[in-house]
Amino acid sequence: MSATALPMPVTAPTHLRPRMSPLVVVAIAWIAGMILVALLAEWIRPYGITAMDLRARLTPPIGFGGTLKHVLGTDELGRDVASRLIISIRISLMIAMGATVIAAVLGTTLGFLAAHFRGWVEQIVLMLIDFQASMPFLILALSVLAFFGNALGLFIVLMGLYGWERHARISRGLAIAANAQGYAAAVRQLGARPMRIYLGHVLPNIASTLIVSATLSFPEIVLLESGLSFLGLGVQPPMTSLGNMVGYGREYLTRAPWILLAPSLVIVMTTLSVSLVGDWLRDRLDPTLT
Amino acid sequence: MSLLSVRDAAQVYTTRRGLFGGRVDVRAVDGVSFDVAPGQTLGIVGESGCGKSTTGRLALGLERPSEGSVTFDGQAMPAPGTADWRAMRAKMQLVFQDPLGAMDRRLTIARQIEEPLEIHGIGDKAERAARVAALLVDVGLRADHGLRHPHELSGGQRQRAVLARALATNPSLLVCDEPVSALDVSIQAQVVNMLTDLQAARGIAMVFISHDLKVVRQVSHQVAVMYLGRIVEQGDPDALFADPAHPYTRALVSAIPVPGPRRLERIVLAGDPPNPADRPTGCAFHPRCPVAIARCRTDTPALRHSPCGRMVACHLVDTETRIAA
């Protein structure tokens, strides 16, 4: 059979790794730093989050007339902003990451089920997607929290219900396309079980799209959590979160802007970093983009 | 003893016309029968939309026929998606038209060729690796091609890789759905030669679907010409192409480009192939047929043995031995 071999000389494949831009390095470093802070929160916070220093109320941060005692200043009750920020990062990160993972897993599973079974299963999933998309999520969240009370676990699961419909739509559409023609149909006619088709082939192929979608919903969940906490239905005082800090710091915006600016900066930097890393991951995971 | 036997298979799809329109049945395949023996090739030719690919999918059991039956090796085809059906995939394989679309672009060629072996639990890891290496050689690829991703190969190499994957489980039936129409002509010849060599070496039965009459003539032991879901003429390829009996086949054959002066007058058919949802009465070909008679409008001709030694579905071929061209 070697007589029919193509005479074309072929060199060994060279895989050029995409150059990591300095921006991505900074973003990864920031996310790693945030995760480290979240993990070590109990050990690195200088004070308790409820410890009040009434004689040092509304102290500005260091460099703006503050002292080393309170690096990021204090709030209206004399609580250390740095300590509160560290604990807030942990709570907010836990909520946002937990919720993003729940949304991605739930949405992708439902999307695949719809694509595989079609018929009435698909109709039900599509109905749920439309229901979710047409319902203002804030109102749904408000009513659930109002009726069932507020526990951190429930709150994370509730946030996880936000954004699943986007994953479901994407995964259903792409799985149907792959099933109708192309690699999934090819693997199916090789005799593969549905689990192998969906987890072994369809999921890795659409992962880049899903990762981008997840990096979009991550900041939204952070902001949603901030909004709900601000309305008093999210994370309850004395517990603190980034949104909670922004919400309560708002009243002192003119007199003590550092209470609000410190958590705001963390929100902006984290969501931006997640988006940048998501973009980079998508390119990195695609073997055709080298 | 035939390996694959298709009897009066019909595939009906239901569509809706417009927003409030009623249901319309589209008979994509309408009463097709054929047999394929081991080591033999049946070529199926016809225009786009004549039901070639659907016939191929029915033969492979990827779809269940609405009417009629498909038997493989004496067994009825199990329903798609069942465990029996999955196990049967090892014995029959499909070669796709678009090799890039048929491969997972994230996996290396070797991994993809190994996949059917993994699915059907053939051999251990070392045996599978050895088999993949042997398959790569069989289809004329080098070992280092196995380490590449599909987008790093040329079109012809990709089609070879798809073929290697299809041959991995040693199937006894191969359905090739336009396997070379996406390749350029020089590569087409190489891939076609390789296909016939592999078939001869392994005794594979093949259904070769194409609109390229030259390629079909080269690979087939039998040719079936389809028009609007039905076989209109079937028989030995050399005889069929040299002396086509059905008016549609004659038009088709006259469209083959030949070097030098034409032997046959070029027959240009009027109009387009009709919509399968709106099938003409009688012989489906009669509105475009240059020699149609009144009977063609009312009676559907059956596929019958004709004096020329082939099966032809035409009233005129039955009454006279030849129709004046």
B90 touches chain A (CB under 8 A): yes
The tens digit of pLDDT for each residue in B205-230 reads 999 999 888 889 889 999 999 998 89
- Supply A280's token pair: 């980079």
In a domain, A171, yes or no: yes
Q: Give pLDDT tens digits for B153-190.
A: 988 899 999 999 999 999 999 999 888 888 888 888 88
Amino acid type, B256: I
Give the pLDDT score at A33: 93
Q: Quick one: B12 and B151 in the same domain?
A: no
Determine what percent of chain B is predicted with pLDDT higher than 90.
30
Query: Does residue A162 form part of some domain?
Result: yes
Same domain, B144 and B81: no
| B12 Cβ contact partners less than 8 Å away, ≥ 6 residues apart | B25, B26, B27, B28, B66, B67
Cβ pairs bridging A and B (under 8 Å): 89
Residue B269 sits in a domain whose CATH number is 3.40.50.300
d(CA A129, CA A107): 9
Q: Which two tokens stand for residue B134?
A: 């042997």
B325 assigned to some structural domain: no
Mean pLDDT across B273-301: 84
In a domain, B96, yes or no: no
Q: B14 and B131 share a domain? A: no
Specify the number of domains making up chain B: 2
Residue B165: list chain A partners with CB under 8 A. Answer: 190
Indicate whether B126 and B176 sit together in one domain.
Answer: no
Peptide bond into A257 cis (omega under 30): no
Residue at A20 is within a domain: no
Q: Which domain holds residue A256?
A: 71-285
Verify that B273 and B297 share a domain, yes or no.
yes
Specify if B300 maps to a domain: yes
Amino acid A123 reads: Q
With a pLDDT cut of 90, the percent of chain A lying above it is 20
Which chain A residues are closer than 8 Å to B149 by Cβ?
13, 287-288
Domain of residue B118, residue span: 106-162
CB contact under 8 A, A1 and B106: no
A239 is a domain residue = yes
Check whether residue B185 and residue B124 sit in a common domain. no
Which pLDDT score, from 0 to 100, does residue A1 have? 43
Question: Looking at the complex, does the CB of residue B277 fall below 8 Å from at least one CB of chain A?
Answer: no
Q: Is A290 on the interface with B (CB under 8 A)?
A: no
Instruction: Please state, in angstroms and rounded to a whole number, the distance separating the CA atoms of residues B62 and B78.
Output: 10
Domain assignment present for residue A179? The answer is yes
Same domain, B138 and B236: no
pLDDT reading at A3 higher than 50:
no
Considering only CB atoms, B102 lies closest to which of A186, A192, A288, namely A186
Indicate whether A55 belongs to any domain: no
Tell the residue number behind the tokens 């922004």, with chain if given. A246
Q: How far is B130 from chain A (nearest CA, A)?
A: 17
Residues B73 and B209 in one domain: yes
CATH number of the domain enclosing A248: 1.10.3720.10
Residues B223, B131: Cα–Cα separation, whole Å: 33
Q: Please check whether residue B59 lies inside any domain of the structure.
A: yes
Whether complex ipTM tops 0.90: no
Q: Which residue of A has its CA nearest to B158?
A: A6
A181 CB within 8 Å of a chain B CB: yes
**Alpha-carbon dihedral A64, A69, A71, A76, rounded to 10 degrees:** -80
Q: Are the beta carbons of B90 and A191 separated by less than 8 Å?
A: yes
Question: Is B99 inside any structural domain?
Answer: no
**Contact state of B105 with A288 under an 8 Å Cβ cutoff:** yes
The chain B residue lying nearest A207, using CA atoms, is B106
Residues 6+ apart with CB under 8 A from A39: A90
- Per-residue confidence (pLDDT) for residue A35, from 0 to 100: 92
Q: Is A119 helix (H, G, I), strand (E, B) or coil?
A: helix
For residues B155 and B175, membership in a common domain is answered with no
Tokens coding A73? 């200043």
Looking at residue B44, its amino acid is I
- Residue A84 in any domain: the answer is yes
Q: Among A184, A160, A161, A162, which Cα is nearest to A172's?
A: A184
B141 interfaces chain A, CB cutoff of 8 Å: yes
